[in-house]
């Protein structure tokens, strides 16, 4: 699963049961946590489903071959909104059937205990056809030609297969499935396996898919509609891209990428993709990410299809999300975590492998450098007291959705990369191959992975890795250098890094340092105890102990080393420079180093044009400028920020230069947006001039630049300008372009126009398949109009959260407080959140509210520090260049 809201949020301790993985034992079916008894297990399902869109119902018949492992009178499995009839065990009616929707369980009671051995449970049932993306749902969409269409699709993870059919809906219960569906005869059908037979009965088609290999229920997929596809092959595997008929040509790039990625992974994992085909389905609307159903990945169509209005960012997202979802075909589908506490075995792995593949196949994108932003995002959450370990207890499967957060994804990705770097890529790959081979078509725990990596490397990987996966937070390494005849010796120590709480003992990590002095190649040192020393080059040279920013830790250097690093800053290796910027900024936020030492580094960039470093600087200046709004020092700070980035922006100009790499193009757009936000008169005027041409000629601004220019223009738009863009958005027939226009409208500066923008976000102008973007639009509005955005969200929360049924509780608890923290007092937000959520979400709410308190403290501390920096800045004393 890709995370739909990842970039919009920043910053769980549940209870009990899942001690299996945490205790570090290999997968064992009987010991796997879960609510369902293991005395009766499914082996094979034959399932026939007849959806009725008009009535909103599902009629099904189901026959499950079971193994009774211990004599049992009761058979317990999951169900939700289903009513079972004609329930038979080995052909004979059963004594009682009780379906409890509150507990999402059905208990079938037999007249007498079933003996050990194979048996058959069969029944008919009626269920609910969903209208939101969970279980089997119907999706209404507006086509590019103006017509309305409908299709059926599924979204099962974590616990929604039970909404489509009664089943053992926990990941350890792998079974084979044979699915039969009845749909309108003109519709195409896609599922995990190819169609085995298809019969027409009047206006209806009955399609039966081939029986699947053993798999967990959360990976079942079924889509049907007026779809068409393009396809190709990789070895024995048929690779297809499906879309609403007429849009399938926009899947050409995705098809080529899927072939490339699949072939690479066959090689990397050393285990051929085991199904006969791999389909990718572009669902118009549905949920806003993608889901790795085995052999039939579903994507929000905006992520998979690329048309004339798509940008390089769209292309990058298409590749990266495919690389993530296809990695899941091994990590998740072929080998499934035993229980949701090891969700990271799915998600951290897919995040890491997907990023590595994206970087490998697209070197000009500098993908790992860009992933630094993901690492920072995770570190920010993980430097709060209320964070949680990568491996965390999940009390029951209904809590599983709350684990899909930046710790599982972004921290997990970084920690795996650090481990790969420490063991060496070949050794790590060998370990992954051993793990996949050993656990194929079955389940696994972290211990299974550690033992495979240990076998490959000859090292006790588990001991090192568990510091990072079973422990909350991460360390701050302090470096104290001493000099003797120019030779530097460093003394190292560690403690947990926390943004707000006072420094405290607690937490200890085995830290794989990568030390680089001057321009030499980095060398590794495993820091395991305080006071360790090492030689580190010459005293005047720059020094990093997190070379290339690969480690998931922060570093604080002594004053002399920091000064040496600041002097040589512009010439350091890109990754080293970024690590220094990230750490200095975080130390300033935590009050552990002055803001001015961060700004001194930023000022030392000189002529260096490293895009990620400048993006980091622009984002930090943007935060400071945002906090200063409404304060007396705001104008002076905005001027200082402008003068800091202006030379870079001037050198990059407005239009691409020949041979320009994607990261530089991205930097140009970032800086223009920021200069616009900081009221740079020249940028505002040029953006308005370009917009005026765009109004009469939509091709006047390249798609890649539209987001930038529209955002700048909207900041200072009057009613006429706002109306022009609104009219363009309404008339737009391409959804990609239309989404961009709507997003720009939300960035309007004028309060009265912002109120209009809020109404647009709630209106029917948003096509049905784009319902999930409404929340994003309201969050965008919060940038300039926090109180309006909070009010709008609070009054329409049900509507705004409905398209995200799985994540709604997590979004409400952890993200909503952060989105709207400037829109209302913390008490009001907390009270509102508590009233909407059950008591077991308390740890998540604590995380959300800790973020709010931290942001408030940050604003209070940084604003005067920024003022002081402006007052002391050398150019200011020299007469005010700006
Ligand atoms: Zn995923």
Q: What is the pLDDT of residue 212?
A: 98
Q: Are residues 339 and 392 in contact, defined by beta-carbon separation less than 8 angstroms?
A: no
pLDDT per position as a tens digit, 268-283: 999 999 999 999 999 9
In whole angstroms, give the CA distance from residue 717 to residue 303: 30
Q: Which of the four pLDDT bands, split at 50, 70 and 90, describes residue 143?
A: confident
In whole angstroms, give the CA distance from residue 157 to residue 538: 54
- Gap from CA of 335 to ligand 1 centroid (Å): 14
- Gap from CA of 77 to ligand 1 centroid (Å): 26
Q: What is the pLDDT of residue 2?
A: 72
The mean pLDDT value for 634-662 works out to 94
Q: What is the pLDDT of residue 874?
A: 61
- Gap from CA of 238 to ligand 1 centroid (Å): 22
The two structure tokens encoding residue 85: 């009839």
pLDDT per position as a tens digit, 574-594: 999 999 999 999 999 999 999
In whole angstroms, give the CA distance from residue 801 to residue 732: 26
Share the mean pLDDT of the chain: 94
> What is the 8-class DSSP label of residue 271?
S
% of the chain surpassing 90 pLDDT = 90
pLDDT per position as a tens digit, 324-364: 999 999 999 999 999 999 999 999 999 999 999 999 999 99
Q: What is the pLDDT of residue 644?
A: 94
- Gap from CA of 675 to ligand 1 centroid (Å): 36
How wide is the angle at C-alpha 376 spanned by C-alphas 375 and 378, nearest 5°? 65
Q: Choose among 306, 312, 320: nearest CA to 250.
A: 306
Q: What is the pLDDT of residue 398?
A: 78
% of the chain surpassing 70 pLDDT = 96
Q: Which of the four pLDDT bands, split at 50, 70 and 90, describes residue 23?
A: very low
Helix (H) or strand (E) holding 270: none
Q: What is the pLDDT of residue 118?
A: 98
- Gap from CA of 333 to ligand 1 centroid (Å): 11
Q: Distance of CA 134 to CAs 183, 680, 803, Å?
A: 19, 46, 9
- Gap from CA of 434 to ligand 1 centroid (Å): 22
- Gap from CA of 409 to ligand 1 centroid (Å): 8
Q: Which of the four pLDDT bands, split at 50, 70 and 90, describes residue 11?
A: very low
- Gap from CA of 257 to ligand 1 centroid (Å): 18
Q: Which of the four pLDDT bands, split at 50, 70 and 90, describes residue 606?
A: confident
* Residues involved in catalysis: 325
Q: What is the pLDDT of residue 504?
A: 62
- Gap from CA of 806 to ligand 1 centroid (Å): 14
pLDDT per position as a tens digit, 281-307: 999 988 889 999 999 999 999 999 999
Q: What is the pLDDT of residue 8?
A: 38
Q: Are residues 154 and 91 in contact, defined by beta-carbon separation less than 8 angstroms?
A: no
Q: Which residues contact 269 (CB under 8 A, 6 or more apart)?
A: 330, 432, 433, 436
In whole angstroms, give the CA distance from residue 720 to residue 559: 54
Q: What is the pLDDT of residue 15?
A: 29
Q: Which of the four pLDDT bands, split at 50, 70 and 90, describes residue 839?
A: very high
Q: Which of the four pLDDT bands, split at 50, 70 and 90, describes residue 3?
A: low
In whole angstroms, give the CA distance from residue 64 to residue 175: 10
Burial class (CB in 10 A: 0-12, 13-18, 19+), 579: buried
In whole angstroms, give the CA distance from residue 488 to residue 480: 10
Q: What is the pLDDT of residue 503?
A: 55
Q: What is the pLDDT of residue 399?
A: 81
Q: What is the pLDDT of residue 507?
A: 86
Q: What is the dihedral of CA 597, 603, 607, 609, to 10 degrees?
A: 70
- Residue 16 pLDDT exceeds 60: no
Q: Which of the four pLDDT bands, split at 50, 70 and 90, describes residue 878?
A: very low
- Gap from CA of 513 to ligand 1 centroid (Å): 29
Q: What is the pLDDT of residue 311?
A: 97
């Amino acid at each position: 699963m890709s995370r739909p809201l990842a970039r919009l949020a920043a910053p769980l301790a549940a209870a009990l049961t899942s001690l299996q993985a945490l205790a570090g034992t290999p997968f064992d079916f009987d010991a796997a946590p879960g609510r369902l008894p293991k005395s009766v297990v499914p082996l094979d399902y034959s399932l026939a489903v007849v959806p009725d869109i008009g009535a909103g119902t599902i009629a099904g018949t189901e026959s499950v071959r079971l193994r009774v492992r211990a004599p049992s009178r009761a058979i317990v499995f999951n169900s939700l909104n289903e009513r079972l009839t004609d329930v038979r065990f080995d052909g004979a009616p059963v004594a009682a059937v009780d379906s409890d929707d509150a507990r999402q369980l059905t208990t079938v009671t037999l007249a007498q205990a079933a003996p050990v051995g194979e048996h058959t449970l069969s029944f008919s049932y009626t269920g609910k056809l969903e209208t939101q993306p969970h279980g089997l749902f119907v999706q209404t969409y507006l086509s590019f030609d103006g017509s309305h269409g409908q299709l059926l699709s599924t979204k099962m993870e974590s616990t929604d297969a039970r909404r489509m059919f009664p089943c053992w809906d926990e990941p350890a219960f792998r079974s084979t499935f044979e699915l039969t569906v009845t749909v309108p005869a003109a519709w195409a059908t896609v599922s995990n396996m190819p169609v085995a037979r298809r019969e027409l009965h009047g206006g209806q088609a009955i399609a039966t898919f081939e029986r699947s290999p053993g798999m967990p229920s959360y990976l079942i997929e079924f889509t049907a509609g007026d779809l068409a596809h393009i396809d190709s092959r990789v070895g024995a595997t048929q690779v297809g891209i499906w879309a609403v008929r007429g849009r399938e040509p926009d899947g050409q790039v995705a098809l080529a990428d899927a072939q490339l990625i699949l072939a690479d992974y066959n090689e990397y994992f050393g285990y051929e993709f085991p199904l006969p085909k791999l389909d990718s389905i572009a669902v118009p609307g549905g949920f806003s990410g993608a889901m790795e159903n085995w052999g039939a990945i579903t994507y929000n169509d905006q992520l998979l299809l690329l048309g004339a209005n798509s940008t390089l960012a769209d292309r990058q997202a298409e590749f990266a999300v495919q690389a993530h979802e296809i990695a899941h075909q091994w990590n998740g589908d072929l080998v499934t975590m035993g229980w949701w506490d090891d969700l990271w075995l799915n998600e951290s792995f897919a995040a890491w492998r997907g990023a590595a593949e994206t970087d490998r196949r697209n070197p000009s994108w500098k993908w790992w450098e860009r992933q630094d932003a993901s690492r920072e995002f995770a570190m920010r959450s993980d430097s709060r007291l209320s964070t949680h370990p990568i491996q965390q207890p999940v009390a029951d499967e209904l809590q599983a959705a709350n684990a899909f957060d930046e710790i599982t994804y972004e921290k997990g990705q970084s920690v795996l990369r650090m481990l790969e770097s420490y063991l060496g890529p070949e050794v790590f790959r060998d370990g992954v191959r051993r793990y996949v081979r050993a656990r194929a078509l079955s389940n696994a725990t972290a211990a299974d992975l550690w033992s495979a990596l240990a076998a490959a490397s000859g090292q006790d990987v588990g001991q090192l890795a568990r510091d990072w996966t079973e422990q909350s937070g991460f360390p701050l390494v302090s470096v104290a250098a001493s000099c003797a005849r120019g030779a530097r010796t460093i003394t190292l120590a560690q403690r947990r890094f926390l943004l707000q709480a006072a420094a405290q003992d607690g937490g200890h990590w085995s830290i794989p340092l990568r030390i680089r002095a001057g321009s030499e190649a980095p060398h590794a040192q495993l820091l395991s105890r305080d006071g360790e020393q090492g030689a580190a080059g010459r005293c005047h040279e720059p020094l990093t102990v997190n070379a290339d920013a690969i480690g998931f830790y922060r570093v604080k250097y002594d004053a002399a080393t920091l000064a040496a690093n600041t002097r040589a800053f512009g010439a350091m290796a890109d990754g080293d420079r970024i690590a220094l910027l990230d750490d200095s900024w975080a130390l300033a936020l935590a009050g552990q180093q002055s803001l001015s030492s961060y700004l001194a580094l930023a000022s030392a960039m000189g002529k260096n044009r490293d895009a990620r470093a400048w993006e980091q600087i622009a984002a930090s200046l943007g935060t400071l400028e945002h906090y200063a709004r409404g304060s007396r020092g705001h104008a002076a700070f905005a001027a200082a920020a402008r003068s800091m980035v202006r030379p870079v922006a001037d050198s990059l100009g407005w239009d691409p230069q020949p041979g320009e790499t994607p990261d530089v193009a991205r930097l140009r757009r970032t800086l223009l947006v920021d200069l616009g936000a900081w009221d740079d008169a020249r940028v505002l005027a040029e953006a308005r001039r370009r917009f005026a041409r765009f109004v009469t000629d939509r091709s006047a601004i390249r798609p890649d630049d539209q987001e930038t220019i529209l955002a700048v223009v909207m900041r200072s738009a009057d009613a006429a300008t706002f109306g022009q863009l609104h009219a363009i958005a309404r008339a737009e027939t391409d959804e990609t372009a239309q989404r961009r226009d709507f997003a720009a409208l939300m960035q309007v500066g004028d309060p009265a126009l912002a109120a209009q923008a809020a109404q647009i976000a709630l209106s029917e102008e948003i096509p049905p398949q784009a319902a999930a973007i409404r929340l994003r639009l309201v969050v965008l509005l919060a940038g300039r109009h926090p109180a309006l955005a909070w009010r709008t969200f609070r009054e329409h929360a049900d509507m705004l959260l409905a398209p995200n049924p799985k994540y709604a509780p997590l979004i409400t608890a952890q993200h909503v407080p952060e989105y709207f923290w400037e829109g209302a007092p913390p008490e009001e937000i907390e009270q509102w959140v508590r009233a909407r959520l059950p008591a077991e979400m308390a740890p998540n709410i604590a995380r959300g509210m800790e973020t709010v308190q931290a942001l408030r403290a940050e604003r209070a501390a940084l604003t005067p520090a920024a003022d002081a920096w402006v007052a002391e800045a050398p150019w200011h004393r020299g007469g005010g260049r700006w």
